[in-house]
Structures are given as C-alpha cells and as structure tokens.
Amino acid sequence: MTKFFRYLLPLSLLLTGIWSCVDQDFDEPPVTGLPNLQSNISIADLKKLNTIGSDDKQITDSLVIEGIVTADDESGNWYKQIVIEDETGGIVVRLNSVGLYNTYPIGRKAYVSLKGLWLGDYNDLPQINGAPDSAIAELLIPSHVFAGARDQQITPTPVAISGFKPELVGSLIQLDDVQFVAEDTARTYADAVNRLTENRTVEDCFGNRAIIRTSGYADFANKGVPNGSGTVLAILSIYQGTYQLILRDEADVQLNGARCEGGTGGELMTIADLRALYTGTNTVGPDNKKIRGVVISDKDNGNTTGKNLVLQDASGGIVVRFASNHSFALGEEIDVAVSGQEISEFNGLLQVNNVGLDMAASRGAGTLPSPRVATASEVLSNLEAWESTLVRINDATITGSSTYSGTTKVNDASGSIDLFTSISASFATSPVPGGTVSVTAIVSQFNSPQIIIRNLSDVSGGGSVDPDLISLSSVRGLFQGTTTSVPAGKKIRGIVISDKDSGNITERNLVIQDADGGIVIRFTAAHNFAMGEELEINISGQELSEYNGLLQVNNVPNSNAVSFGPGTMPTPRSATIQEVVDNLEAWESTLVKISDVTFPNGGTYNGSQSAQDASGSIIMFTRTQATFASQNLPTGAVTITAMVSQFNDPQINIRNLNDIGQ
C-alpha cells in the first residue's frame, strides 16, 4: 500500500458503514511514464570528480546516475534531501522541497540528470547541489530528479564500526551486535522540546564506538533510547573527518537482545603480541581483542598522569592512555579492549591511546609481577623489550639532586640511567636518600631511556624517608572539585599555624603547614594542639572536601594525630593583597605577611573588615568568639601576618593581636 493511501486510513475509519462491503485491499496503482533515462556514470565515479574540501564543481557534461532511494524525509530526521545508492556507493541529493517521500520514497528507483548541477561536500559529506552550497530549487527538481519503479530491493552493507571507510559514506549500512552506551540509555534520541539535534553513542562488544546523530524534529526524537543490543541500520555520514550515523526512522534500531559486557569483550591477546603490531607508524588494535594485566603504576602518588596507567602481564607491559582520568589502582587486574584502538608512540613510549573508560573493566585485586632484577646497563640494553615493566636495580646510588623532582641518576657498577620524577608527584620534594639503595621502577623513555618509581616505597635502604608521608600540596592535588577520599596508608606532617587559644578558629579545627603548602584539619572533637606544635596525622581514607570554598580534611579522629612537640614555625610569605587574591588556591591555609595595610572603615576586629594596601583590598574576618574581637582596629598603616583563607570569597585570618605590627 502506498504512503498516500496510508494517510487516508483515518477517513476510512469514519466511513466504516460505507466501506464494510468493499474490498479494502488496495492494489498498488500502476506506474506510468517511467523516465527514459539510463545511467552513464556510477555514484562512486561521480564522487571522484570533486576533491573533498574544495569548492563545489559544476557538472557540464550530460551525466546521469541512477540508484535506489535509501533515505527520505518522512520521519523528519532528513530534511530537504534524499539519499540514493547504487552498487558502488551512495550520495546525498539536496532538494529544496518538503514531503519528498511522496515522490521519492525509500525503495524507489531514482535518476538524476546532472548537467548544470553542482557536486560538492558539506564538511566532508559528498552531495549534489543545485548551486554552490544550495539545494536544487523546487522548480528545477522535475528537470533533474526523476522517479522510477517502486519497491526496489535494498540490501544494507554489513560493516563493523572499526570498518568505516570513506567509500561507504552515503551508503546504507548494517551494524550487528551493537548497543547504546550505558549513559545514553536514560536519554531520548534528541531534544524534541527545544528541537535540538543531539548525538548518542553506540558501541560494539569490543569497545568500538560511533555517533548516532538525530534531529530534534524527527518524529522519534522524544522516544527513549533502547537498553538492549542488536542491529542498527543507518546511512553512514561524516562531519569534519568524524563518522556519524543518521537513522531513517525509529525502526532502524532493533536492540532487543541482552547487553554485552560493556566495552571489554573479545578474545585475550598478550601485551607482547599487541606491542609487536607496532612497526614504527600508528596502527590499530585487531578486531575482537583485549589485553589483561595488572596495573603497575600508582595514580595516587602522582608520578603518572591521571589519564595514564602502565599495564603488565607475563609477556610484557604497555602504557594505556585513557580519554579522561581513570580510577584504577596500583595492583588492580583489569581488562582493556584494544579493538580499533590507536597503537602509537609518545616520545618513544609505546601506548594504547585515547581509550574510553568503559573499554576497561576491573577484575579486582591482582598479583603484582615480581620486578626483574637487573643492572642499569642491562636495562639500557633491553629497553624496548622491557619497556613498561618492573625492574629492580640493587646496590645503587641516586645522584644529581637533593630531591626527587625532575631527572636524577641511578648508578650502579655497570653504569647509570635517568630516574625521572614529575613535579606533580607526592614525593617530588622529598629528599633523595644517601648511600646504597635498591630501586624498583618502571622502565620507560621520553626520547631517551629512563626509569620511573611509583612511590617512596620503591626506594629502600640508604636512610629513605617514610614512604607513607605525603606533602600537603600533594594532598591538595588529590581534590578535583568533588568530595573524595585520601588514599590508604597516607600521613602528613607539619606545623600548626592556627591558635586555638585565641578563639579565632573553631575548637575542632586547626591549620597545618609544611614546606609545600597548608590545609585545614577538622577533627571529630575539640582538640588541644597548640600553635607551633609539630604534628603527624594519619589521613588514610579521610574525607577531602571543601567548606564554602575552603579545602579541609574532614572528620579526622583525634587519635589519628601524634604530636612531636614544639616545631619551627614556617616563615610567612611576604606579599601584597592582590598577590594573595591571585594565588588564593595555591597559598590557601599558609601564612603571609602584608605590609602597609590600613582599615578604612575603622571599628573593631569583630566580623568582616576591609583591609587594603596599595594593590587592592581583602576581607579580614574575625570570629565573635575571638579574645580580641572587641578590640579596636589600628588607625594607621600596619603589617599583618595572617592565614590565607576563604569563605566563598578570599579572606585572611589573624591568629591573635601579635599578628598586627607597626
């Protein structure tokens, strides 16, 4: 039955009494006046006449293509365009008219007389235009686009997501065993309320992904995205080099089966076999493959970037670089789908690059591989084979710097190799031990050979420092904008710079500062630690959060803090008010000294008072409970020593009146 008669159906329901004695099985009306045209160029050859990215090319020869309409505008997901396809490929034909499906429905043969038309592309998508970047005018459509026989057989091209290629652009394709990513299954295809076109993502069971782009005007835009797996039919499109799928209607999506196991399906391959695929130029992982290994890098100590991890199995190791920060811990066993993923080098270091987080899955705690005991010279000689695996160099010394930060040297009787430590590592400023040590490290390279330790426990002997100690700047670096937990086994050590006795800080809080930074500690009960006292605090697993913008380690049991008696107060940083404001996050909870400060509004210390110098102004806040709250502010210029703080906005807090000097 034609679409024309389908639209008469509501009328027939109103006239039931009239039609009850009539045969309602309509015959397809005979097709008359079929065009007397014959193609003389294939769609594939037509596309070759114009280079993608160049100006539209007018067709001056008497060329004709013919094909079957594979997409029309009935659902609203295609607008003022149809897609036709022959045995060599498909192409978009832009027609400045609506209701095209009445004349050129899916399955109808169509002929396009190309002389006078233009061949171009829209952000890499080949198309036939009536003029440069313009659809064929409505009045000209009958002169160029001719409808042929209906109900022609359409056979979509089966293809895997990893098999997309330029020749298939414009073709109707079939994807099997795919599903929408989990986060999209709670959404609709597009924003039907605001008529906004939106992208959704489908994936196969090997982690390969593709975009499905749907118009807000599509009649299925408000329909929920299905949660199962199965088959998707779509026209393969492209936009600025990125492949996209455009549905014809909702029926193109048949996802009624059980979901596959995320993006980590596929057969296991060894890391060594994956590494062997790289021969000097970027390549991709094979279909239906994944790797499995144990994470030998340590995200919590910051000597590996948040997107990277190093994975090792019995055959070798490799860097996996995710598209965003991951949460896989040292010693965790994980699967990573590598099908279609980029295998490339970054400054000589082999990696699986830009991997989606859903393409990796944890298998729980694994068994860390035993480091290979080797000399520095042996590591250098076996760099490529041992890259991204653990080694241990015994009877070594570390030279070149007093701290780990940057590049130092690990030396043994055979030679030396660079030891690199990121400035973001929690132990970057820790002192390098003297004497003979054993170094466990990951073999790596950055244009030249180097090794990388995960944390301070990788260096033993030689008077090494407590591996559980973490600097306050590193603690602050763990906070990424949302409440989190401090990693297990971590302690901090510093000097109390707040003064509980003067009452300008609540009884459960203190501010602690070390050589790298400061932070607020909020205990579960009132504490008795005095200003200037040196403390070691176990913050393992404690909440790291902000209170009105002020970073704190929250709800720390009082018993987690151990006093080492009076310590040496840090020297306040000399700064202007504007410098304090500009460096608020970096200097928060540390001492500063500001000269030539005045209080233009006068009054007492109590509450929020404006303090200003030649560079600007800032709030100095004093609690009502402070012992000096009712004292008058000085009338002249003074020097202030204060703690940098914030309560939604920048502020400073003095500890007591000794912080005000002439």
User: What is the reported pLDDT for 19?
Assistant: 31
Query: Is 435:442 a contact under the CB 8 Å cutoff?
Result: no
Task: State the DSSP H helix or E strand holding residue 311, giving kind and residue range, or none if neither.
Answer: strand 308-312
SS3 457: helix
Quote the pLDDT of residue 510.
97
On whether the CB atoms of residues 120 and 148 are closer than 8 A, the answer is no
Enter the tokens of residue 211. Answer: 């975009």
Task: Give the span between the Cα atoms of 569 and 280, in whole angstroms.
Answer: 55
Give, rounded to a whole angstrom, the gap between the first and last alpha carbons of the chain: 96
Please give the full DSSP string across 412-448, using - where no structure is assigned. ETTEEEEEEE-TTSTTTTSBPPPS-EEEEEEEEESSS
Q: What is the pLDDT of residue 114?
A: 97
216's tokens: 């807000």
Please say whether the beta carbons of 350 and 343 come within 8 A.
yes
Sign of CA dihedral 341, 346, 351, 354: negative
| pLDDT reported for residue 363 | 79
User: What is the model's pLDDT at position 12?
Assistant: 32
User: Cβ contacts of residue 214 below 8 Å, gap of 6+?
Assistant: 77, 189, 190, 197, 198, 199, 200, 220, 221, 246, 247
C-beta of residue 220 within 8 angstroms of C-beta of residue 189 = yes
For residue 616, give the nearest of 637, 635, 598 by alpha carbon: 598
Domains of the chain: 43-147 (2.40.50), 157-257 (2.40.50.140), 267-365 (2.40.50.200), 372-460 (2.40.50.200), 472-566 (2.40.50.200), 573-661 (2.40.50.200)
Of 497, 522, 646, 655, residue with least CA distance to 585: 646
DSSP state of 285: B
Q: Buried b vs exposed e over 571-601: b needs ≥16 C-beta within 10 Å?
A: ebeebbbebbbebbeebbbbbbebeebbbee
CA distance 14 to 116: 48
Strands lying side by side in the sheet with 550-556: 484-485, 543-547, 550-556, 518-523, 509-513, 491-496, 533-538, 561-566
Which stretches of the chain drop beneath a pLDDT of 70?
A: 1-34, 206-207, 261-265, 462-467
C-alpha distances (whole Å) from 564 to each of 52, 384, 495, 655 are 72, 48, 10, 22
Whole-prediction pTM value? Answer: 0.44
Which of 205, 150, 157 shows the shortest CA–CA distance to 181?
A: 205
Q: What is the pLDDT of residue 361?
A: 83
What is the CA 265 to chain-centroid distance, rounded? 21
Question: Is residue 595 within a helix (H) or strand (E), and if so which, with residue range?
Answer: strand 591-597
Which residue is associated with the tokens 């045969």? 23
